[in-house]
Amino acid sequence: MENCLFCKIINGEIPSSIVYKDDDVVAFKDINPQAPVHILVVPRKHIVSAAEKDASDGKMLSAVFSAIAKIAKENKLDNGFRIINNCGADGGQTVPHLHFHILGGRALGDKVI
Ligand code: AMP
Ligand code: ZN
- The response to whether residue 85 sits with its C-beta less than 6 Å from ligand 1 reads no
Interatomic CA distance for residues 36 and 18, integer angstroms: 16
Q: Nearest ligand to the C-alpha of residue 88? A: 1
Main-chain dihedrals φ then ψ at residue 45, nearest 5 degrees:
-70, 130
Upper half-sphere CA count for residue 62 (Cβ side, 13 Å): 5
- Work out which ligand 1 atom sits closest to the CA atom of 92: 2
Main-chain dihedrals φ then ψ at residue 9, nearest 5 degrees:
-65, -45
pLDDT 10s digits, 30-74: 999 999 999 999 999 999 999 998 888 899 999 999 999 999 999
pLDDT score recorded for residue 1: 75
**Mean pLDDT over residues 70-96, rounded?**
98
Has this prediction a pTM greater than 0.95? Answer: yes
46 part of the active site:
no
Ligand 1 pocket: which of 13, 31, 93 to mutate (most atoms within 8 A of CB): 31
